[in-house]
C-alpha cells in the first residue's frame, strides 16, 4: 500500500493543542504524547510503500532463467530506490490465497501457475483488484494451455510466432502520457529479445490499451525463424484489470538499455497504485 506523506513533526497540530488544553496536561504528559506521535510518524515513514512478489522457475530455457535472475537483481535495486518490499520465489505453491492476501503486485518472470489450484488463486486475486506484471514467456498461451480465463485476462492475444535468434528491434511508444511510458522517447532501439507475434493481436480488444509496439520497419526479422509481417503490440494493459504485459524477457541483454528499464520500473510502480487500474 502507498503511505501518505507524513506531516511535518515540528508543526503545531491543532488536535494535539486542543487535547492539551482540554486535559490541562502536565509538561511530562505533553512530552510523552509528543514522543509517541513522533515514533508513530517515524514508523509510518519506514513502512514499505507496497509488497511485490516475483515468481520464477530456474529450470527450463536458459535464456528465460538468465532474464529472471537479472530481473530479480534489477527489482531488488529498484525496491531500495523506491522504498517497496520485493521478494522472489521459485515455489509456485506460494501462489495461494493466504500469501496473495499480503501482496500488492505479483510478477511472473518466466513461467505460469503449475496447478489448477494456483490458477484459481490467481484468478480470484486478479478479479478482486490484485496487480500483475507478466513478462515474455509468462504470457504464452495457445490451444495447448487450455486456460480460457487467462486468454480473456491477457486481452485475447494468442501466441502465433517468434523470431530466431533473438535480435534488437526498433519500438514505437504508442502512448507517451501514461505512467508506464512517461520517461520514454517516441521510438527507441530495444536490446536483443525473442519477439512474439500474437494472433489475434491484443490491439483488437476494445479493453486493451497498447503502450508500446514493434515497428513494422523491423520486418523481416530473424534468420532461422523470420517474422515477416503482423501487428505486434509488445507492452499492453487490459484495462479491466490491474495488469501489465511486457514481451521483453529473453536472454541476458534485456536490462542493458536504460530507456527500456523505465518500463519495468515505472510499470511496477504504476501497478502498485490501487487507485489507478
Ligand atoms: Zn523466449
Query: 195-206 pLDDT, tens per residue?
Result: 999 999 999 999
- Domain residue limits at 41: 14-46
What is the arithmetic mean of pLDDT over 6-27? Answer: 57
Q: How far is the CA of 35 from the centre of ligand 1 (A)?
A: 55
The mean-pLDDT minimum among 21-35, 119-133, 134-148 falls in 21-35
Distances (CA, A) of 180 to 90, 110, 114, 271: 27, 21, 29, 9
Rounded to whole angstroms, the Cα distance separating 14 from 220 reads 68
Task: Indicate whether 7 belongs to any domain.
Answer: no
Inter-residue contact 138 to 112 (CB < 8 Å): yes
Rounded to whole angstroms, the Cα distance separating 154 from 140 reads 10
pTM of the predicted structure, to 2 decimals = 0.85
The answer to whether residues 60 and 175 belong to one domain is yes
Q: How far is the CA of 239 from the centre of ligand 1 (A)?
A: 26
- Indicate which CATH number applies to the domain containing 233: 3.40.50.880
Q: How confident is the model at residue 21 (pLDDT cuts 50, 70, 90)?
A: low
The answer to whether residues 83 and 183 belong to one domain is yes
The answer to whether residues 26 and 62 belong to one domain is no
- Asked which of 46, 66, 86 is the last residue of a domain, the reply is 46
Q: How far is the CA of 191 from the centre of ligand 1 (A)?
A: 13
Inter-residue contact 277 to 239 (CB < 8 Å): yes
The answer to whether residues 69 and 158 belong to one domain is yes
Q: Give which of 218, 207, 72 is closest to 135, Cα–Cα.
A: 72
Q: Check residue 230 and give its pLDDT.
A: 87
Q: Check residue 60 and give its pLDDT.
A: 87
CA 52 to chain centre: 8
What is the arithmetic mean of pLDDT over 219-227? Answer: 93
The answer to whether residues 144 and 27 belong to one domain is no
The answer to whether residues 100 and 161 belong to one domain is yes
Task: Indicate whether 2 belongs to any domain.
Answer: no
The answer to whether residues 42 and 107 belong to one domain is no
Q: How far is the CA of 127 from the centre of ligand 1 (A)?
A: 28
Q: How far is the CA of 24 from the centre of ligand 1 (A)?
A: 70
Q: How far is the CA of 194 from the centre of ligand 1 (A)?
A: 5
Q: What is the dihedral of CA 208, 257, 272, 36, to 10 degrees?
A: -170
Inter-residue contact 242 to 130 (CB < 8 Å): yes
The answer to whether residues 37 and 165 belong to one domain is no
The answer to whether residues 95 and 179 belong to one domain is yes
Task: Indicate whether 1 belongs to any domain.
Answer: no
The answer to whether residues 29 and 129 belong to one domain is no
Q: What is the pLDDT of residues 80-121, one digit of tens each?
A: 999 999 999 999 999 999 999 999 999 999 999 999 999 999
Q: How far is the CA of 57 from the centre of ligand 1 (A)?
A: 13
The answer to whether residues 142 and 30 belong to one domain is no
Percent of the chain past pLDDT 70, that is, above it, reads 88
The mean-pLDDT minimum among 28-42, 227-241, 250-264 falls in 28-42
Q: How far is the CA of 134 from the centre of ligand 1 (A)?
A: 13
For residue 17, pLDDT over 90 is answered with no
Q: How far is the CA of 180 from the centre of ligand 1 (A)?
A: 23
For residue 53, pLDDT over 50 is answered with yes
Count the residues in the chain: 277
Task: Indicate whether 86 belongs to any domain.
Answer: yes
Q: How far is the CA of 83 from the centre of ligand 1 (A)?
A: 31
Nearest 5°: CA angle at 94, between 89 and 95?
A: 110
Task: Indicate whether 5 belongs to any domain.
Answer: no
Looking at the structure of the chain, the number of domains it has is: 2
Inter-residue contact 245 to 139 (CB < 8 Å): yes
The answer to whether residues 36 and 133 belong to one domain is no
Write the CB contacts of 148 (distance below 8 Å, at least 6 apart in sequence): none
For residue 5, pLDDT over 60 is answered with no
3-state secondary structure the chain: CCCCCCCCCCCCCHHHHHHHHHHCCCHHHHHHHHHHHHHHHHHHHHCCCCEEEEECCCCCCHHHHHHHHHHHHHHHHHHHHHCCEEEEECCHHHCCHHHHCCCCEEEECCCCCCCHHHHHHHHHHHHCCCEEEEEHHHHCCCCCCCCHHHHHHCCCCCEEEECECCEEEEEEECCCCCCCCCCCCCEEEEEEECCEEECCCHHHCCCEEEEEEECHHHCCECCCECECCCCCEEEEEECCCEEEEECCCCCCCHHHCHHHHHHHHHHHHHHHCCCCC
Q: How far is the CA of 267 from the centre of ligand 1 (A)?
A: 20
Task: Indicate whether 8 belongs to any domain.
Answer: no
Q: How far is the CA of 97 from the centre of ligand 1 (A)?
A: 29
Q: How far is the CA of 136 from the centre of ligand 1 (A)?
A: 7
Amino acid at each position: 500500500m502507498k503511505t501518505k506523506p507524513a506531516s511535518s513533526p515540528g508543526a503545531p497540530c491543532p488536535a494535539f493543542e486542543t487535547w492539551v488544553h482540554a486535559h490541562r496536561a502536565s509538561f511530562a504528559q505533553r512530552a510523552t504524547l509528543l514522543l509517541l506521535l513522533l515514533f508513530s510518524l517515524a514508523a509510518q515513514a519506514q513502512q514499505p510503500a507496497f509488497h511485490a512478489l516475483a515468481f520464477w522457475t530456474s529450470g527450463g530455457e536458459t535464456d528465460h532463467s538468465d532474464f529472471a535472475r537479472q530481473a530479480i537483481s534489477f527489482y531488488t535495486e529498484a525496491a531500495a530506490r523506491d522504498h517497496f518490499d520485493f521478494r522472489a520465489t521459485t515455489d509456485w505453491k506460494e501462489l495461494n490465497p493466504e500469501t496473495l492476501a499480503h501482496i500488492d503486485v505479483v510478477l511472473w518472470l518466466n513461467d505460469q501457475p503449475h496447478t489448477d489450484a494456483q490458477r484459481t488463486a490467481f484468478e480470484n486475486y486478479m478479479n478482486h483488484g490484485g496487480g500483475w506484471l507478466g513478462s515474455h514467456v509468462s504470457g504464452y498461451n495457445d490451444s495447448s494451455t487450455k486456460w480460457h480465463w487467462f486468454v480473456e485476462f491477457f486481452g485475447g492475444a494468442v501466441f502465433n510466432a517468434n523470431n530466431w535468434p533473438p535480435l534488437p528491434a526498433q519500438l514505437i511508444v504508442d502512448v507517451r502520457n501514461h505512467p508506464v511510458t512517461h520517461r520514454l522517447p517516441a521510438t527507441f532501439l530495444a536490446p536483443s529479445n525473442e519477439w512474439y507475434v500474437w494472433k489475434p493481436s491484443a490491439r483488437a480488444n476494445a479493453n486493451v490499451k497498447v503502450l508500446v509496439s514493434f515497428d513494422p520497419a523491423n520486418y523481416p526479422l530473424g534468420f532461422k525463424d523470420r517474422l515477416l509481417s503482423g501487428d505486434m503490440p509488445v507492452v499492453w494493459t487490459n484495462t479491466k484489470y490491474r495488469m501489465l504485459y511486457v514481451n521483453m524477457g529473453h536472454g541476458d541483454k534485456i536490462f542493458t538499455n536504460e530507456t527500456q528499464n523505465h518500463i519495468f520500473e515505472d510499470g511496477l510502480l504504476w501497478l502498485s497504485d490501487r487507485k489507478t487500474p
